[in-house]
Amino acid sequence: MNLKNDWQIHLKSEIHQPYFLELMDFIHEEYQNFTIYPQYNHIFKALELTSYHDSRVLILGQDPYHQPGQAMGLAFSVPDEIALPPSLKNIFKELKNDIGIDNTCGDLSSWAKQGVLLINSIWTVRHSQPLSHKDRGWEKFTDKIISLLNDKSDPMVFVLWGSYARTKKKLITNKRHLIIENVHPSPLSSYRGFFGSKPFSQINRFLMDNNYNPIKFSTRSTS
């Protein structure tokens, strides 16, 4: 495993831990024997696009999309030629209601390049089998990343949508950070408080209050 940018330094000891080596052995075998998402070379795309130093916002998902062509290594994001999944549709609906941006392209790479770290707690999944890689070690790896971000001296925003993501709140103990938590944007729960919660204006207000540039949340289709 070759991490890019400063994550190499911050995760150097973690990726040599026995649990992580076992996880990588398991993942290699899974990719050889099953259809796994995202593509193997996209597993760590979120870390490639958003360095530790540049991370200003963490948006945490649970599990990659498990249908063909959707997962791309960034939580909630899909390639721009792929139809928007229901949760992302609702995220974009709230984005428009909150700050007036009307996105149709589901590729969130532009967010990642501005410091929005888009990671799932579980980083891989079998085709049509959600949570199939649960309890294999990914959760421990993600908890380490959250803890490292919590240790940052620079203020950050942690966005926790859904009951699972909100369990990670206990790892965010640094009072300089902002935690935004709510129900998940999926159709099953979005009407129980996600709509109208205005997370995007909260994010940018906090960043500007701390002398950072606001995130430009518009996406652009490259097709």
Sequential pLDDT tens for the chain (223 residues): 667 789 999 999 999 999 999 999 999 999 999 999 999 999 999 999 999 999 999 999 999 999 999 999 999 999 999 999 999 999 999 999 999 999 999 999 999 999 999 999 999 999 999 999 999 999 999 999 999 999 999 999 999 999 899 999 999 999 999 999 999 999 888 888 899 999 999 999 999 999 999 999 999 754 4
Task: Tell me what pLDDT residue 222 has.
Answer: 42
Distance CA(30)–CA(154), nearest Å, equals 38
Q: Per the confidence metrics, is the pTM higher than 0.85? A: yes
Q: Taking the alpha carbons of 16, 3, 175, 194 in that order, is the dihedral positive or negative? A: negative
Taking CA 153 as the corner, what is the angle to CA 60 and CA 216, rounded to the nearest 5 degrees? 50
Instruction: Report the catalytic residues.
Output: 63
Task: Tell me what pLDDT residue 132 has.
Answer: 97
Q: H/E/C letters for each residue in 82-105? A: CCCCHHHHHHHHHHHHHHCCCCCC
Can you say how many angstroms the Cα of residue 10 is from the centroid of all Cα atoms in its chain? 18
Task: Tell me what pLDDT residue 220 has.
Answer: 75
Assigned token pair, 155: 């203020």
Distance CA(140)–CA(182), nearest Å, equals 23
| Residues 209 and 107: beta-carbon distance below 8 Å | no
At a CB cut-off of 8 Å and minimum separation 6, what does 113 contact?
49, 50
Question: Between the CA of residue 145 and those of 11, 22, 110, 118, 223, what are the distances in Å?
Answer: 8, 18, 21, 12, 33
Domains and CATH numbers, the chain: 6-210 (3.40.470.10)
Residue 149, φ and ψ in degrees, nearest 5 = -65, -35
Q: Taking the alpha carbons of 78, 67, 59, 1 in that order, is the dihedral positive or negative? A: negative
Distance CA(44)–CA(38), nearest Å, equals 10
* Percent helix, strand and coil across the chain, each to the nearest 5: 40, 10, 50
